[in-house]
């Protein structure tokens, strides 16, 4: 079984994402709120955690067992509600801070009950202490681990959330409906099925926009985009798209050596083989530096992050060292630290890499990561883990999202629940980056160039910093940040499922 470390989610959201009349919500899916939430009725007596039964005794007792399931057993709504409360009490990192004032009988769904079973504390800056509480349909969650997603094969970023709204394409998957329609990074969304995406404010229009943005079934929608002042219509078929974890591999020749570059989008099952093959090619080419583009990488399996960190640094500095130690609540037995994996862990999926395959290594003492506020959790663990063994990690872009927490997701009756169950720290015991990791050079995302283009703003800044140690170009578009500065977040909010903002380890 694998555990997860959660990444970025501003508020719990229901699936599908909905647009309020004047507001485009900033993530698609995964939350436990929205239409599943029943009105909360104040209970007569508080719930006593000491009186709870073990979660295992009511697990998979379902009010409506799934047809054909060998796991689900006949049960009641109260069984599901009891399981949620008991599971939280047993495993939640901050279980002592969960309100006891909610009775399960006050809720009509287990998801609605789950929503309120979290700490209400805030951080020193006033943010909710727990921003990382969500659910997802189990079947979709399991399918997604192999990189299969229902959609058009493009990732949209929200850069303005009130009319006039603004959403821009960040990534287009090769061979996807979006790619076949000629769409590309930087295209601005204008309309969906005839509705003005930019300005529409009535509820009927918002419903059409949601149906086109976040299709729940295969079907055709017409989206229009503008590029260089020209509007083009794209008839897009929503299908199950195989997404790639690694894209845009490049070897860039410079006067001071070869620099490897790749876009790394997610730590899922298919990422293991793709990363290993890229690193083998970089090793064979004799690169002297690496630029790892994780600006849109929300996380995934922590073991993949460990493998990648090993392949960057090599055995000289990682052998016998901790990549990440996970810290649980006082009811959970401590686990051995996650090491720097020198061999593949054998993730399942299409064309898997056999478990135990020796991993290549670049033996680098420094590495550059391109980051934004959408760089989360497992991606942040790469930074923190390498810094824990004194590898120099330079960040070019924006402050990361700040997710040092994680969890073991638990399926029950067709829903998988995600709640914070541990915090991760590196070999030096550091894991306090809930407000994100500040960049070495603060650089805005450049949608005018394709990812991997040496002229693209963030990559160009990384190459410049490598050669000169300076963040300031002739245009003055970037600036050097001291450790005392708090840079504004240069990232936009990606419209993606919450499950794409997690990190995973095996147990």
DSSP assignment of 315-383: HHHHTT-EEEEEE--TTS---PPEE--SB-----SSSPPPTTPBPP----SEEEEEE-TT--THHHHHH
- Confidence band, pLDDT 50/70/90 cuts, at residue 498: low
- Confidence band, pLDDT 50/70/90 cuts, at residue 44: very low
Lowest mean pLDDT among 73-82, 365-374, 491-500: 491-500
Q: How many percent of the chain have pLDDT more than 90?
A: 69
Residue 36's nearest CA partner among 84, 74, 70 is 84
Residue 210 has pLDDT above 90, yes or no: no
Residue 154's nearest CA partner among 94, 65, 234 is 234
How is residue 218 written in tokens? Answer: 């295969």
Look at residue 128 in the predicted model and tell me its pLDDT: 86
Tens of pLDDT, residue by residue over 140-185, are 887 777 778 889 999 999 877 778 999 999 999 999 999 999 999 9
Is residue 181 a contact partner of residue 169, using CB atoms and an 8 Å limit? Answer: no
Look at residue 152 in the predicted model and tell me its pLDDT: 96
Query: Which residues neighbour 63 within 8 Å (Cβ) at sequence distance 6 or greater?
Result: 75, 76, 77, 79, 80, 413
How is residue 454 written in tokens? Answer: 């040496």
How is residue 60 written in tokens? Answer: 């998979």
**What length is written for the chain?**
507
Look at residue 427 in the predicted model and tell me its pLDDT: 97
Look at residue 124 in the predicted model and tell me its pLDDT: 74
| Ramachandran assignment for 306, one of left (phi > 0), alpha (psi -120 to 50 degrees), beta (any other) | alpha
- The residues that bridge with 216 in the sheet, in sequence order, are none
* Mean pLDDT value across the chain: 85
Strand pairing class (289-293; 300-301): unpaired
Lowest mean pLDDT among 68-72, 131-135, 284-288: 131-135
Q: What are phi and psi of 261, to 5 degrees?
A: -140, 140
CA 42 to chain centre: 35
- Confidence band, pLDDT 50/70/90 cuts, at residue 3: very low
The larger pLDDT score, comparing residue 468 to residue 489, is at 468
Look at residue 14 in the predicted model and tell me its pLDDT: 31
| CA angle, 271 then 274 then 280, to 5° | 135
Look at residue 126 in the predicted model and tell me its pLDDT: 80
**Cis preceding linkage at 221, omega within 30:** no
Assign 172 to helix, strand or coil: strand
Residue 115 has pLDDT above 60, yes or no: yes
Assign 146 to helix, strand or coil: coil
Assign 46 to helix, strand or coil: coil
Annotation: CATH topology of 246-406+421-473:
2-enoyl-CoA Hydratase; Chain A, domain 1 (3.90.226)
Residue 10 has pLDDT above 80, yes or no: no
The larger pLDDT score, comparing residue 416 to residue 146, is at 416
Is residue 165 a contact partner of residue 205, using CB atoms and an 8 Å limit? Answer: no
How is residue 419 written in tokens? Answer: 């709640």
How is residue 412 written in tokens? Answer: 């029950």
Look at residue 216 in the predicted model and tell me its pLDDT: 86
Question: Cα–Cα distance between 266 and 246 in angstroms, integer?
Answer: 8
Q: What is the mean pLDDT of residues 45-56?
A: 70
Q: How many percent of the chain have pLDDT more than 70?
A: 84
Q: What is the mean pLDDT of residues 279-298?
A: 97
Q: What is the mean pLDDT of residues 450-466?
A: 97
Question: Cα–Cα distance between 322 and 466 in angstroms, integer?
Answer: 28
Annotation: CATH topology of 149-242:
Pdz3 Domain (2.30.42)
Residue 1 has pLDDT above 80, yes or no: no
What are the residue ranges of helices labelled H in 431-502? 457-468
Look at residue 8 in the predicted model and tell me its pLDDT: 28
Question: Cα–Cα distance between 156 and 168 in angstroms, integer?
Answer: 6
Residue 241's nearest CA partner among 196, 178, 290 is 178
DSSP 21-38: SS-B-SS-S-BS-GGGPP
Question: Cα–Cα distance between 363 and 386 in angstroms, integer?
Answer: 12
126-130, 201-205, 472-476: which is most confident: 201-205
In the chain, % helix, strand, coil (3-state, to 5) comes to 25, 25, 50
Sole residue written with tokens 């993530």: 27
Question: Cα–Cα distance between 297 and 500 in angstroms, integer?
Answer: 8
Residue 439's nearest CA partner among 270, 295, 245, 266 is 295
Look at residue 36 in the predicted model and tell me its pLDDT: 35
- For residue 419, the tally of other CB atoms under 10 A from its CB is 29
Q: What is the mean pLDDT of residues 106-134?
A: 90
Residue 61's nearest CA partner among 76, 48, 51 is 76
Q: Where are the domains of the chain?
A: 61-143, 149-242, 246-406+421-473
Residue 469 has pLDDT above 80, yes or no: yes
Q: What is the mean pLDDT of residues 261-276?
A: 95
Look at residue 131 in the predicted model and tell me its pLDDT: 82
Look at residue 140 in the predicted model and tell me its pLDDT: 82
Strand pairing class (61-62; 73-74): parallel
Residue 346 has pLDDT above 50, yes or no: yes
Lowest mean pLDDT among 131-140, 161-170, 251-260, 486-495: 486-495
Is residue 465 a contact partner of residue 441, using CB atoms and an 8 Å limit? Answer: yes
Assign 277 to helix, strand or coil: helix
**pTM recorded for the entire structure:** 0.84
Sole residue written with tokens 């609540």: 329
Residue 29 has pLDDT above 50, yes or no: no
Q: What is the mean pLDDT of residues 35-61?
A: 63
CA distances from 491 to 143, 218, 443 (A): 28, 31, 10
Look at residue 423 in the predicted model and tell me its pLDDT: 92
Is residue 313 a contact partner of residue 340, using CB atoms and an 8 Å limit? Answer: yes
Q: What is the mean pLDDT of residues 188-205?
A: 95
The 3-state secondary structure of 100-134, one letter per residue: CCCCHHHCCCHHHHHHHCCCCCECCCCCECCCCCE
Tens of pLDDT, residue by residue over 372-398, are 999 999 999 999 999 999 999 999 999
Q: Please provide the distance, in angstroms rounded to a whole number, between the alpha carbons at the two ends of the chain.
A: 5
Look at residue 406 in the predicted model and tell me its pLDDT: 83
Query: Which residues neighbour 53 within 8 Å (Cβ) at sequence distance 6 or greater?
Result: 82, 86
């Amino acid at each position: 079984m694998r555990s997860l470390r959660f990444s970025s989610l501003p508020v719990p959201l229901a699936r599908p994402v909905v647009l309020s009349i004047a507001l485009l919500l900033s993530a698609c899916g995964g939350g436990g709120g929205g239409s599943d939430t029943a009105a909360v009725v104040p209970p007569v007596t508080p719930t006593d955690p000491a009186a709870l039964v073990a979660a295992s005794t009511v697990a998979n007792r379902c009010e409506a067992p799934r047809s054909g399931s060998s796991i689900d057993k006949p049960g009641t709504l109260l069984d599901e509600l009891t399981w949620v409360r008991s599971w939280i009490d047993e495993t939640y990192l901050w279980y002592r801070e969960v309100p006891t004032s909610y009775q399960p009988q006050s809720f009509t769904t287990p998801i609605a009950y789950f929503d309120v079973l979290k700490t209400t504390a805030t951080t020193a800056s006033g943010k909710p202490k727990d921003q990382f509480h969500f659910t997802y349909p189990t079947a979709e969650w399991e399918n997604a681990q192999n990189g299969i997603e229902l959609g058009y094969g493009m990732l949209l970023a929200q850069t303005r959330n009130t009319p006039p709204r603004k959403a821009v394409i960040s990534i287009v998957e090769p061979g996807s409906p979006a790619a076949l329609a000629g769409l590309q990074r930087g295209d601005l969304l204008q309309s969906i099925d005839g509705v003005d995406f930019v300005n529409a404010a009535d509820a009927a229009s918002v419903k059409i926009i949601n149906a086109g943005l976040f299709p729940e079934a295969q079907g055709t929608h017409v989206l229009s985009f503008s590029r260089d002042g020209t509007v083009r219509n794209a008839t897009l078929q929503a299908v199950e798209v195989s997404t790639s974890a690694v894209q845009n591999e490049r070897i860039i020749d410079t006067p001071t050596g070869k620099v490897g570059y790749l876009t790394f989008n997610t730590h899922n099952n298919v990422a293991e083989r793709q990363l290993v093959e890229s690193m083998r090619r970089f090793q064979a080419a004799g690169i002297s530096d690496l630029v790892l583009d994780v600006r849109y990488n929300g996380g995934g399996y922590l073991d993949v992050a460990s493998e990648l960190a090993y392949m960057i640094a090599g055995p000289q500095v990682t052998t016998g060292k901790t990549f990440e130690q996970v810290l649980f609540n006082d009811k959970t037995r401590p686990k051995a630290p996650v090491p720097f994996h020198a061999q593949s862990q054998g993730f399942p999926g299409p064309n898997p890499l056999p478990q135990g395959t020796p991993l290549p290594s670049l033996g680098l003492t420094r590495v550059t990561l391109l980051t934004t506020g959408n760089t989360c959790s497992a991606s942040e663990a790469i930074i923190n883990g390498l810094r824990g063994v004194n590898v120099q990690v330079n960040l070019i872009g924006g402050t990361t999202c700040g997710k040092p927490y994680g969890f073991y997701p638990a399926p029950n009756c067709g829903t998988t629940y995600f709640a914070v169950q541990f915090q991760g720290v590196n070999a030096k015991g550091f894991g306090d980056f809930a407000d994100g990791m500040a960049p070495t050079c603060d650089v805005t995302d450049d949608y005018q160039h394709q990812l991997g283009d040496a002229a693209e703003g963030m990559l160009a800044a990384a190459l410049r910093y490598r050669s000169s140690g300076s963040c300031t170009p002739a245009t003055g578009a970037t600036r050097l940040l001291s450790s005392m500065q708090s840079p504004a977040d240069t990232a936009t909010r990606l419209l993606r499922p919450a499950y794409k903002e997690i990190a995973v380890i095996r147990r």
